[in-house]
Amino acid sequence: MYLKEFIQKENTTPDTVRHYIYLNLLNPGRKGRNYWFTENETDIFEAIKEFQDLGFSLQEIKDIKNYTMSRVVLKSNVHKT
């Protein structure tokens, strides 16, 4: 879905989504010059909101995401050998 659809579905603003993209919390694809959001970005956005509701800062959420992603990469590399 395009940005406009995403912000309507998630009840947010374009500035919030762009800020999350800038912080590398969201990584939507592109269709031409437009962002393209999949169910993956929807899940991540909702997780970000849940962490914020629990009192985590965006930096803390980013750290958690980076740690989690590095663990996934490490596990996938271990299974390849």
Q: What are phi and psi of 31, to 5 degrees?
A: -125, 100
1's tokens: 């879905």
| pLDDT recorded at residue 75 | 66
| pLDDT recorded at residue 70 | 77
pLDDT tens digits along 25-39: 999 999 999 999 999
Q: What angle do CA 43, 13, 42 make, to 5 degrees?
A: 10
Q: Pick out the chain residues at pLDDT < 70.
A: 72-81
Domains and CATH numbers, the chain: 3-80 (1.10.1660.10)
| pLDDT recorded at residue 9 | 97
Residue type, 10: E
